[in-house]
Amino acid sequence: MKLDNYISGYAGNISVYIIDKGNATLYYTIADHLGSLTEITDQQGMLVQRMEYDAWGNRSLLTDNTGMGDYLFDRGYTGHEHLDAFKLINMNGRMYDPVVGRMLSPDPFIQDPSDNQNFNRYSYCLNNPMMYADPTGYYGGGSGGNSGGNGYYINGIPVSQYIFNAWYNINLLDPNNFALEGYGNVLSQYSINQREVKEYYSRYEMLQRFLSDPIMAQKLKEYNNLTNGSATLEPDPPYSALNNISVHPSFNASAYYVHGNHLPGNDDPPLQNNLGGNTNTTNTVPSLFNWTNTGANAAAYGAYKVGGTFRLMKSGSVSLGWYKSGWSTGNQYVKTTYSLSKLGKGIGYGTSFVGAAIGVINFELSDKSWGDYGQLGMSFLSSGLTCFPATTLVGIGLGAIDIIGGFNGFYNYLDENQHLYNNTGLIMIPSGIMGIPTFFKLK
Amino acid sequence: MIMNLYYYLFYKISRFLNKKGNNEWGVMYAFSLLIGCNIGLIYIKVLPVTKENFNTGFKTILIVILIVLFIINYILFLHKNKYKYIVKRYENETLRNKNIGNFLVVTYVVLTFLSIFFI
């Protein structure tokens, strides 16, 4: 049994006292301005290990005089615990993913409402990791100064535009035929991409889209420490293909991770409904993968990867009840939002329809002057445009303008009698207000 | 029988407006508008509705009727994606039936359109 005692002083961690099988060793640590451990020395001051970090906390070993080829202990970036098996950093309050520079769960606190960076609940240290650290996982702290950050961009596109939150599988053409573990987390723009996330959860296009970007594919490979092989997507398996998954024992309490074990033959038609059979430790979800992980790398990842496993990294605390209605709390949220959007769509189309029909009846009852014809034409035009997806918004927009009398001047211009046009009424206004935003979301 | 005609009309409009399968609401809209125009015309012809008294309550009642029509159509067609079954039901109609159906539906639509101007 190995016991690591981290001894802290005013400036953070200063030494580590390791007791391993009865042998006690004291190491001293040197940290950078953020508290990241950069050098480890022994009691004589001789360098034992030297590490470096990129801006977002990915750790690499520069010098290793121990001969073990691995980090001496888990603490590293900003003094926090690295979970190398998951390539995550435990920020105490939340888990942080240095690969994408995002937390896995939203921040329950808004540290500074006057800074709009705070409203990105998944961002790390106001997107300014060079200046700030996040000792608690909730509140950032640092050397002060301007907190403005530019976010994290890949290929000119904010990472948040990519929907990482997925299970992706890379079948590498390397000698080990090693199928990578895929994971993702919910990114900052999750909230506005809810429907997209929902769709891509169940659709394979997300994976294709992900891999179609060479930089993202390369990023994925780098993240998995692979230099060889190319990323290819497995054929889309049937949605009903299930894996049995279970919460990893190490994380049972907080349950941030759910691991799936895909054993050979599990591609067979499922015996269980994917939404049923929940217990505290097991569950079933549809698999997007066809695992071929038989290489030596499997062992390196420990039991939770052997045999081809996947993990579902979710934000927030995991309740397996999630899976009763979706794949995650995120999906539950998406589902709700989707319903509301459908309601909005119904209201949009419904009120537009009522407006157009009343417009026709108005014409029926009118003197059929040129102005009336103009209004009828506008009704036809707006309703016709509303019928086609590409022009729906234009149709609704025209209808909305007509409803509030925006075209009355035009009708009066046509109508020498200066007829006062009786528009459909205020009932149509919700069409514009509620319908239009939801069309964007639902199309 | 009447419901079958109703479904068939929806199917035909669906074939016209929803070829890509992503415009079920547009179909709903057009279909409801057609039926709504018919109902509105009958409404103003059967009841003593004039240009002057239309705004005194007749319009509100008609709006309520139209909203109910839209909700009923939603329940009949879009709720739980029932329209997919309706489309599937008529998809395999014979060529003869298809031609007759097309003719009847086009006639109905044209008559509805003309009725707006000439009744």
Q: For A148-181, how does the pLDDT look when each residue is reduced to its tens digit (9 = 90+)?
A: 222 333 333 333 333 332 223 222 222 222 222 2
Q: Give the pLDDT of residue A259.
A: 28
Contact A365 B54 (CB under 8 A): yes
- In which residue are the tokens 């000698």 written? A175
Least CB-CB distance to A349: which of B29, B51, B59?
B29
**What percent of chain A lies above the pLDDT cut of 90?**
0
Range in A130-139, A305-314, B17-26 the model is least confident about = A305-314
Contacts of A345 in chain B (CB under 8 A): 25
ipTM associated with this complex: 0.90
Least CB-CB distance to A353: which of B17, B29, B43?
B29
CA angle A343, A346, A351 (to 5 degrees): 125
**Does A379 contact chain B (CB < 8 Å)?**
no
**Does A428 contact chain B (CB < 8 Å)?**
no
Average pLDDT, integer, range A253-268: 28
Q: What's the whole-number average pLDDT of chain B? A: 87
Token code pair at residue B109 = 């639509």
Between A153 and A98, where is the model more confident? A98
Least CB-CB distance to A387: which of B26, B51, B66?
B26
- In which residue are the tokens 């054929």 written? A235
* H helices, E strands: number in chain A: 11, 18
Choose from A361, A373, A385 for mutation: most chain B CBs within 10 A. A361
**Does A387 contact chain B (CB < 8 Å)?**
yes
Contacts of B67 in chain A (CB under 8 A): 350, 354
Token code pair at residue B82 = 């029932």
Is the per-residue pLDDT at A216 higher than 90? no
Q: Give the pLDDT of residue A226.
A: 42
Q: Give the pLDDT of residue A170.
A: 29
* Range among A92-106, A131-145, A336-350 with highest mean pLDDT value: A92-106
Q: What's the whole-number average pLDDT of chain A? A: 56
Between A415 and B39, where is the model more confident? B39
Token code pair at residue A352 = 């537009």
| Cα A270 from Cα A326, distance rounded (Å) | 18
With the CA atoms of A17, A20, A24 and A28 taken in that order, what torsion angle do they form, in degrees rounded to the nearest 10? Answer: -30
Average pLDDT, integer, range B88-108: 88
Between A438 and A137, where is the model more confident? A137
Question: Residues of B at the A interface (Cβ-Cβ below 8 Å)?
Answer: 17, 22-23, 25-30, 32-33, 36-37, 40-41, 43-44, 49-51, 54-55, 59, 62-63, 66-67, 70-71, 74, 116, 119
Q: Give the pLDDT of residue A74.
A: 84
Token code pair at residue A216 = 């993202």
Q: What share of chain B is helix, strand, coil (3-state, %, to 5)?
A: 85, 0, 15
**Does A354 contact chain B (CB < 8 Å)?**
yes
Query: In terms of C-beta density within 10 A (0-12 exposed, 13-18 middle, 19 or more buried), how is residue A412 classed?
Result: middle
pLDDT digits (tens, 9 = 90+) for A380-424: 888 888 877 777 778 877 877 776 677 877 877 787 665 656 555
Q: Is A145 helix (H, G, I), strand (E, B) or coil?
A: coil
Average pLDDT, integer, range A335-343: 44
Q: Give the pLDDT of residue B36.
A: 93
- Read off the amino acid at residue B93: E
Contact A361 B74 (CB under 8 A): no
Contact B59 A386 (CB under 8 A): no
Q: Is A286 helix (H, G, I), strand (E, B) or coil?
A: strand
Contact B40 A365 (CB under 8 A): no
Distances (CA, A) of A198 to A100, A159, A206, B23: 20, 18, 10, 20
Q: Give the pLDDT of residue A420.
A: 56
Contacts of A423 in chain B (CB under 8 A): none
**Does A420 contact chain B (CB < 8 Å)?**
no
Q: What is the DSSP letter of A434?
A: I
Contact A353 B32 (CB under 8 A): yes
Contact A361 B54 (CB under 8 A): yes
Between A375 and A229, where is the model more confident? A375
Q: Give the pLDDT of residue B65.
A: 92
Average pLDDT, integer, range A274-287: 29
pLDDT digits (tens, 9 = 90+) for A17-76: 787 777 788 888 888 777 788 888 887 778 888 888 888 889 988 888 888 888 888 888
Contact A358 B25 (CB under 8 A): no
Please give the residue of chain B at the shortest CA–CA distance from A349: B29
CA angle A182, A185, A190 (to 5 degrees): 135
Is the per-residue pLDDT at A229 higher than 50? no
Is the per-residue pLDDT at B103 higher than 50? yes
A289 touches A235 (CB < 8 A): no
**What percent of chain A lies above the pLDDT cut of 70?**
44
Token code pair at residue A187 = 């990114």
E strands, A218-281, are: 242-247, 257-261
Between A247 and A227, where is the model more confident? A227
Is the per-residue pLDDT at A264 higher than 50? no
Is the per-residue pLDDT at A16 higher than 70? yes
Please give the residue of chain A at the shortest CA–CA distance from B32: A353
| Cα A331 from Cα A299, distance rounded (Å) | 32
Choose from B66, B75, B115, B118 for mutation: most chain A CBs within 10 A. B66
Please report which helix (H) or strand (E) contains residue A28, including its range.
strand A23-31
Please give the residue of chain A at the shortest CA–CA distance from B30: A387
Is the per-residue pLDDT at B35 higher than 80? yes
Please give the residue of chain B at the shortest CA–CA distance from A385: B26
Is the per-residue pLDDT at B39 higher than 90? yes
Is the per-residue pLDDT at B31 higher than 60? yes
Please give the residue of chain B at the shortest CA–CA distance from A366: B51
Choose from A363, A387, A434 for mutation: most chain B CBs within 10 A. A387
Contacts of B32 in chain A (CB under 8 A): 353
- Pairing of the two strands A153-154 and A141-142: unpaired
Between A240 and A400, where is the model more confident? A400
* Number of residues that this document lists for chain B: 119
**Does A425 contact chain B (CB < 8 Å)?**
yes
Range in A286-295, B53-62, B63-72, B87-96 the model is least confident about = A286-295
* Range among A219-233, A266-280, B93-107 with highest mean pLDDT value: B93-107
